Amino acid sequence: MRAIKLLLIPGIALAAGGCTNTDDPQLAMCQAVAKQLTSNSIASWEKIDQSDRSRNRLVQIAYSTADDQSGSIDCIFPILDDGSVKTSPNKVALNGQSVGTKELLTAGVKASAELLKGTAANTVERSRELAGEAGKMVNDVAGKARDAAVDTSKALQQKLEE
């Protein structure tokens, strides 16, 4: 395995925690940071490896760019004492080169914004789906209530005619 040069960024706090539209927020954040650091030139994700160590989670991703170049990003996320994993990386290497503090902070903030925007769009879409489903259920219940009222009315009419 090649040596990975990484730069520690203490205190970086990004607002993506628990707000992404994925079951794997560290992977989503690492991919979003990669997109920011490559000016959104990534065409596909080729290989993803993750491993937990005693104090951090390492996410390693190989990718291809739109112009058929290959690259990689390595993101390290701290693991807290309670076992939870931070959603912002404190170390990142792009193509084996450490990403500087300022550059990582800028990319991280933009990545967080993109993830949150995607989450908001997904939430709106899911809300519309649920509202549509609720509307269908209301229509079904109203139809059943109408049918029951008609049946009851007919039964009552028959009883009155007897």
pLDDT of residue 126: 64
Do residues 20 and 119 make contact, with C-beta atoms less than 8 angstroms apart? Answer: yes
Under 8 Å CB-to-CB from 154, ≥6 apart: which residues? Answer: none
Tens digit of pLDDT for each residue in 95-142?
999 998 888 888 888 888 788 776 655 655 666 666 666 667 766 766
pTM: 0.61
Q: Which is nearest to 19 in space by CA: 123, 146, 129, 143? A: 123
Tens digit of pLDDT for each residue in 64-92?
998 889 999 999 999 999 999 998 899 99
Q: Which is nearest to 30 in space by CA: 80, 120, 99? A: 99
Distance CA(28)–CA(18), nearest Å, equals 11
Tens digit of pLDDT for each residue in 20-66?
446 799 999 999 999 999 998 999 999 999 999 889 999 999 999 98
